[in-house]
Structure 1
Amino acid sequence: MNKLIIPTGYMGSGSSAITDLICEFDGYDADNGTFEYVFLHCPDGLFDLEDKLLIGNNSLRSDEAIRSFEKRMYELYNRKFWWVANYKEKIGEDFWKITEEFIDSLTQYKSDSYWYMQERLNFFRFVIMCFRTGISVGSRGKINLKRPLEYKTMRLSFVEADEFYQKARNYINKFLKCMGIEENNIILDQLLLPHNVYRAEKYFDDRMECFVVNRDPRDVFILNKYVWAKSGEQVPFPMDVNEFCGYYKRLHGIERKVENMHVHTIQFEDLVYKYDEMLAKIKDILQLNDTCHSKKKQMFNPERSINNTQLFMKDKYKKEVEIIERELSEFLYEFPYINDADISKSF
């Protein structure tokens, strides 16, 4: 049975190191590299559809849920120059086919009735409404044109939880088939996020292994503010150190802790400073051996990645780092030795 590997982490945590490391083994592929697959957890993605249909659902809610999901999936499928999208090329045309099949399987009723969301006016529909009113008044109510609507048919769904998850698992399995899981082990970066790994057992079987990567917030802050921002590749953390600490603490505070044998928490720094130990751990999880590690250190090289650690040790960052050390002490990594990092070699 081929494996599904999901590297994930908080912004800038270094989860791509897992992708690079596992890709060094024969039989493990990430065809789209570190492209982030967001269709489960993006706004109006599959997890939002789950919440809308299973929590506080009603006739209007389910119509909006299905329509919003359909719209977002089509954007991911068809928008060529949106960096998280272009599924038509990256996944294949079958993605839209299986999405339509999934939506049809959830749609239990269709209605030609309408609700206020369909009555929203734009300029074109406003003109039609004025014309419609004029015709009705001029004919003394004998002629009544149809009301212009944003869309015509309502789609309703009142699925129960077991029914929804069964259909969703079928949808995801078809997606994985599109990605080639029947031929190879596959690596899909950010298919889950730390905040929603608790959902994994309802959507995935034992083929899945999810690696959640954490990283010392001191380096995350320094890299983001002083390295990534300069190249236009910053992650959305506050640049003010006090705001960063509050943001970081709250972001981790809303994460649900899970007990799942297929979810593994990894420290980025351990991959660098305890490379052999972590390599053995990952090989054990995936049941791999040295003979299939044919590209060792060609994609993830700890001697190179060490340049992305302990940048906070520079004197010029001392004041900001002291605040992080005080406010986020529970997230700090205990480095086994001091590394005199060269920020010009960070990446």
Structure 2
Amino acid sequence: MNKLIIPTGYMGSGSSAITDLICEFDGFDADNGSFEYVFLHCPDGVFDLEDKLLIGNNSMRSDEAIRSFEKRMYELYSNKYWWVADYKKRIGEEFWEFTKKFIDSLVQYKSDSYWYMQERLNFSRFVKMAVRAVLRMVTVGKVNLKKPLEYYPMYLSFVNSEEFYQKARNYINNILLCMGIDKKNIILDQLLLPHNVYRAENYFDDRMECFVVNRDPRDVFILNKYIWTRDGDPVPFPRDVGEFCGYYKRLRSVEKKYNNTHIHVVQFEDLIYKYDETVERIMDILGVDKTKHIEKKQNFNPDKSINNTQLFNKEAYKSEAEVIEEELKEYIYDFPYKNDADMKQSF
């Protein structure tokens, strides 16, 4: 049985290192590299659809949920210039066909009625409404054109959780088959996020192995503030150290607990400072032996990545690092030895 590998992390925590490392194993492919697959957790993605249909659903909510999902998936499918999109190329033309079939399976009723979201006016519909009113008045009600609506008909769905998850699993399995999981192990970066891994058991079978990557927040803060921002590639963390600590605490506190043996927490620094031990652990999870590590250190080189660690030891950053060390004690990594990072080699 081929594996679905999902590397994920906390914005800048180094989850792409898992993608790079596992791509060194024979029989494991990431056709699009570290491209982030967001269709499950993006706004109006599958998880939003789940929440809208299973929590506080009603006729209007289900219509909005399905229509919003349909629109977002088509954007991901068709937009060539959006960096998280172009699924027509990155997944395959079948993605949209599978999406339409999934939507059709959810829609239980189609209504001739309409609600205020369908009645939103733009200039074109305003003109049509005016013409409609004039004709009705002139003909004393004998001519009564249909009301111009933004879309038609109204989609209604009252699926229960068992029905929804079964249909969603079929949808995801079709996508995975399209990507070749029947022929090879595949790696889909960021298909889950740490904050929604608790949902995984409803969507995936035992083929899935998700690696959640932690990283010392001192280095994340310094890299983001002084290197990634400078290079025009920041992550959305506050750059004031006090705000960062509060933000980070809240970010981690909203995570839900899970009990899933296919979700594995990996420390980014262990990939560097405990390389052999950590690689062996990952290979055990994937069920492969050392003979499969055919391109060792070709994609992920700990000797290079070590320059992304212990930046907080630099004199210029010590005061900010001390604040983080005090405020975020539970997330601080216990480094086995001191490293003098070469800032010029940081990335």
Alignment TM-score, normalising by the size of structure 2: 0.99
Structure 1: give runs of 5+ residues left out of the alignment.
Answer: none
The question of 1:243 aligning with 2:240 is answered no
Residues in 1 aligned to 2:234 and 2:12: alpha-carbon distance in whole angstroms: 8
Residues in 2 aligned to 1:299 and 1:120: alpha-carbon distance in whole angstroms: 51
The alpha-carbon deviation at position 142 of structure 1 amounts to 2.4
The alpha-carbon deviation at position 131 of structure 1 amounts to 1.6
Residues in 2 aligned to 1:210 and 1:341: alpha-carbon distance in whole angstroms: 30
Please name the residue that 2:164 is paired with.
Answer: 164
The alpha-carbon deviation at position 140 of structure 1 amounts to 2.3
Mapping for residues 65-144 of structure 1, pairs under 5 Å: 65-144=65-144
Mapping for residues 250-265 of structure 1, pairs under 5 Å: 250-265=250-265
Of residues 35-44 and 323-332 in structure 1, the stretch that sits farther from structure 2 once superposed is 323-332
Following TM superposition, where does structure 1 have runs of at least 4 consecutive aligned residues deviating by more than 3 angstroms?
Answer: none
Q: What SS does the corresponding residue of 2:147 show, helix, strand or coil? A: coil
The question of 1:216 aligning with 2:219 is answered no
Mapping for residues 3-42 of structure 1, pairs under 5 Å: 3-42=3-42
Please name the residue that 2:273 is paired with.
Answer: 273
The alpha-carbon deviation at position 75 of structure 1 amounts to 0.2
Please name the residue that 1:338 is paired with.
Answer: 338
The alpha-carbon deviation at position 212 of structure 1 amounts to 0.2
Residue identity matched to 2:19: T
The alpha-carbon deviation at position 292 of structure 1 amounts to 1.1
Please name the residue that 1:321 is paired with.
Answer: 321
Residues in 2 aligned to 1:54 and 1:162: alpha-carbon distance in whole angstroms: 10
The alpha-carbon deviation at position 55 of structure 1 amounts to 0.5
Residue identity matched to 1:108: Q
Residue identity matched to 1:200: A
Residues in 2 aligned to 1:102 and 1:9: alpha-carbon distance in whole angstroms: 29
Residues in 1 aligned to 2:338 and 2:311: alpha-carbon distance in whole angstroms: 10
The alpha-carbon deviation at position 321 of structure 1 amounts to 1.3
Please name the residue that 1:310 is paired with.
Answer: 310
Please name the residue that 1:184 is paired with.
Answer: 184
The alpha-carbon deviation at position 230 of structure 1 amounts to 1.1
Residues in 2 aligned to 1:113 and 1:183: alpha-carbon distance in whole angstroms: 47
The alpha-carbon deviation at position 134 of structure 1 amounts to 1.5
Q: Deviations over 1:16-44 (max 9, x none)?
A: 01011111110000000000000000000
Residues in 1 aligned to 2:285 and 2:256: alpha-carbon distance in whole angstroms: 23
Residues in 2 aligned to 1:119 and 1:258: alpha-carbon distance in whole angstroms: 42
Residues in 2 aligned to 1:129 and 1:25: alpha-carbon distance in whole angstroms: 63
Structure 2: give runs of 5+ residues left out of the alignment.
Answer: none
Q: What SS does the corresponding residue of 1:35 show, helix, strand or coil? A: coil
The alpha-carbon deviation at position 138 of structure 1 amounts to 1.9
The alpha-carbon deviation at position 141 of structure 1 amounts to 2.3
The question of 1:291 aligning with 2:272 is answered no
Q: What SS does the corresponding residue of 1:264 show, helix, strand or coil? A: strand
Residue identity matched to 2:135: I
Aligned residues: 347
Residue identity matched to 2:155: R
The alpha-carbon deviation at position 129 of structure 1 amounts to 1.1
Q: Deviations over 1:170-191 (max 9, x none)?
A: 0000010011100100000000
Mapping for residues 55-74 of structure 1, pairs under 5 Å: 55-74=55-74
The alpha-carbon deviation at position 242 of structure 1 amounts to 1.1
Residue identity matched to 1:305: S
Of residues 297-306 and 129-138 in structure 1, the stretch that sits farther from structure 2 once superposed is 129-138
The question of 1:204 aligning with 2:204 is answered yes
Residues in 2 aligned to 1:200 and 1:56: alpha-carbon distance in whole angstroms: 22
Residue identity matched to 2:312: F
Residue identity matched to 1:257: K
Residue identity matched to 2:49: L
Residues in 1 aligned to 2:30 and 2:146: alpha-carbon distance in whole angstroms: 52
The question of 1:230 aligning with 2:225 is answered no
Q: Deviations over 1:265-306 (max 9, x none)?
A: 000001100011101111111111111111011111111110
Of residues 64-73 and 315-324 in structure 1, the stretch that sits farther from structure 2 once superposed is 315-324
Residues in 2 aligned to 1:196 and 1:310: alpha-carbon distance in whole angstroms: 29
Residues in 2 aligned to 1:123 and 1:114: alpha-carbon distance in whole angstroms: 20
Residues in 1 aligned to 2:47 and 2:267: alpha-carbon distance in whole angstroms: 27
Residues in 2 aligned to 1:35 and 1:145: alpha-carbon distance in whole angstroms: 49
